[in-house]
Structure 1
Amino acid sequence: MSEITIEMPEMFSVEEASEFRESIREHIQNGVSSLLLDFGGCKFIDSTGLGVIVSSYKKCVENGGTIRLKALNANVRKIFELTRLTNVFEIL
Structure 2
Amino acid sequence: MKKLNLLIPENFAVDEAAEFREKVNDLISKGEKHFKLDFKNCSFIDSTGLGVLVSIYKKCKELNGSLNIYAVNNPKVMKIFRLTRLDKVLEIES
Q: State the TM-score, normalizing by the size of structure 2.
A: 0.93
Which residue of structure 2 aligns with residue 88 of structure 1? Answer: 89
Query: Is 1:46 matched up with 2:38?
Result: no
> Aligned residues, how many?
92
What's the CA shift for 1:18? 1.4
Spell out the pairing of 1:1-92 with structure 2 (5 A cutoff).
1-72=1-72, 73-92=74-93
Aligned AA (1:8): I
Task: Note the aligned Cα RMSD (angstroms).
Answer: 0.9
Q: Which runs of 4+ in 1 moved over 4 A?
A: none
Report % sequence identity.
51
What's the CA shift for 1:65? 0.6
Counting helix residues as a fraction of each chain, which structure ranks higher?
1
Gaps of 5+ in 2: none
